[in-house]
Amino acid sequence: MNKDARIFVAGHRGLVGSAIVRRLQADGYTNLLLRSSAEVDLRDQRAVTQLFEQERPEFVFLAAAKVGGIHANNTYPADFIRDNLQVQTNVIDSAYRHGTSKLLFLGSSCIYPKLAPQPMPESCLLTGALEPTNEWYAVAKIAGLKMGQAYRRQYGFDVISAMPTNLYGPGDNFDLQNSHVLPALIRKFHEAKARGDTEVIVWGTGTPRREFLHCDDLADACVFLMQHYSAEDPVNIGWGADVSIQELANIVRDVVGFQGQLRFDASKPDGTPRKLLDTTKLQATGWQPRIELREGIAATYRWFIEHQIDYRH
Ligand SMILES: NC(=O)c1ccc[n+]([C@@H]2O[C@H](COP(=O)([O-])OP(=O)(O)OC[C@H]3O[C@@H](n4cnc5c(N)ncnc54)[C@H](OP(=O)(O)O)[C@@H]3O)[C@@H](O)[C@H]2O)c1
């Protein structure tokens, strides 16, 4: 990837896309193609074809998608499967037809079976039933991964796929209805502290275990893979260790400085009991994450404070 290569970062305003843009600009890449969903709706095949005809990007980071937490997936299953299938199908096909040399597709760790062996190797894909609360999104992501493999086999198109674990960081979605657990906890503890509440209620039992990776580490891994990886098999991207939701809530409480109690509402869904990725393959390439969870949460909370007016939704 030359420093003046034409690089399309689809979804550049999102948590992942904005981190990839920061990474590329820090590395001196100057010729970035950036379009918001208001400018180009990637569900619209004609608009995508026109964009690729005009701009002819050499490299594509496909970080555009409809993303959300358990509540959003449960409430809008049709939107999650349709929008993600349309966006990824239009971009992968147009990139191939307009001479893009390499595309990185971003899936998610929820593509793996609900009761997969932990940590989850890439080889456990399609070996068991998915977690029902987000299967619509997961099936779309599996289709994207398979589409990349098919275009590589039939056309020799260099599509690679990365499967990140749960991500967090600046630019995340802090909306309590649609966000993931970590940004929701930051907002809940912050607002409880501001109101002087005596307790915070956390969804579920607190026992599920989750792995978290800072979006800047993820962006670093994506640029590394675009430069050094070219194969059909997907690559897991994670921190390599997990925490319980209770441990996570305690870290966020400390970082925010909330003095009150923690209470768990077991009537709310827990989701998958454990979701830890096997990152042996990525580590074998020499890539390592750098941002520790507490340090990353503290930096995200500082960003949240500075950007209080813009919860994005
Ligand atoms: N967040 C996580 O924990 C996580 C974990 C694993 C994998 N991932 C994967 O990482 C990728 C990015 O996720 P994220 O967390 O960065 O999501 P995000 O913050 O919600 O950002 C999604 C981006 O996609 C763009 N987008 C959505 N629909 C679009 C459309 N129809 N046309 C054009 N652009 C559209 C949005 O553009 P606008 O802002 O312009 O509307 C937004 O910038 C996704 O593929 C997701 O599956 C995320």
Q: Is the CB of residue 161 below 6 angstroms from any atom belonging to ligand 1? A: no
Domain assignment present for 114: yes
Q: In the numeric block, which tokens belong to residue 268?
A: 């709310």
Q: Is residue 261 in a domain?
A: no
Q: Structurally, how many domains does the chain consist of?
A: 1
Residue 23 CA, distance from chain mean position: 16
Its domain, for residue 167, covers 7-171+212-240+275-291
In a domain, 219, yes or no: yes
Tell me the percentage of the chain whose pLDDT exceeds 70. Answer: 98
- Residue by residue, pLDDT tens for the chain (313 residues) are 999 999 999 999 999 999 999 999 999 999 999 999 999 999 999 999 999 999 999 999 999 999 988 788 889 999 999 999 999 999 999 999 999 999 999 999 999 999 999 999 999 999 999 998 889 999 999 999 999 999 999 999 999 999 999 999 999 999 887 888 999 999 999 999 999 999 999 989 999 999 999 999 999 999 999 999 999 999 999 999 999 999 999 999 999 999 999 999 999 878 788 999 999 999 999 999 999 999 999 999 999 999 965 544 4
Q: Is 41 near ligand 1, meaning CB less than 6 Å away?
A: yes
Determine whether the shortest distance from the Cβ of 14 to ligand 1 is under 6 A: yes
Structural domain contains residue 198 = no
Query: Which residues form the catalytic set?
Result: 137
Beta strand residue intervals within the chain, DSSP E = 7-10, 32-33, 59-62, 102-106, 158-164, 166-168, 199-203, 209-210, 212-214, 235-237, 243-244, 261-265, 274-275
For residue 30, give both structure tokens: 């100057």
In the prediction, which pLDDT does 249 show? Answer: 97
CA–CA separation, 61 and 19 (whole Å): 11
pLDDT at 68: 86
Which CATH number covers residue 91?
A: 3.40.50.720
- CA dist., res. 64 & res. 110, Å (int): 17
Is 307 part of a structural domain of the chain? Answer: no
Placement of tokens 């209470």 in the chain: 263
Provide the 8-state DSSP code for 109.
G
Q: Per the domain annotation, does 260 fall within a domain?
A: no
Residue with tokens 């070996």: 127
CB distance 86 to 100 below 8 Å: no
Structure tokens, 220:
């670093």
Asked, for residue 264, whether it belongs to a domain, the answer is no
What would the pLDDT profile of 139-161 be if each residue is shown by its tens digit? Answer: 999 999 999 999 999 999 999 99
pLDDT score at 313: 44
Q: pTM for this structure?
A: 0.96
Check residue 309 and give its pLDDT: 53
From 15, 18, 103, give the residue whose CB has the most ligand 1 atoms within 8 Å, as the site to mutate: 15
Residue 107 belongs to a domain: yes
132 contact partners, CB below 8 Å, separation of at least 6: 114
Q: Ligand 1, residue 13: give the atom nearest the CA.
A: 43
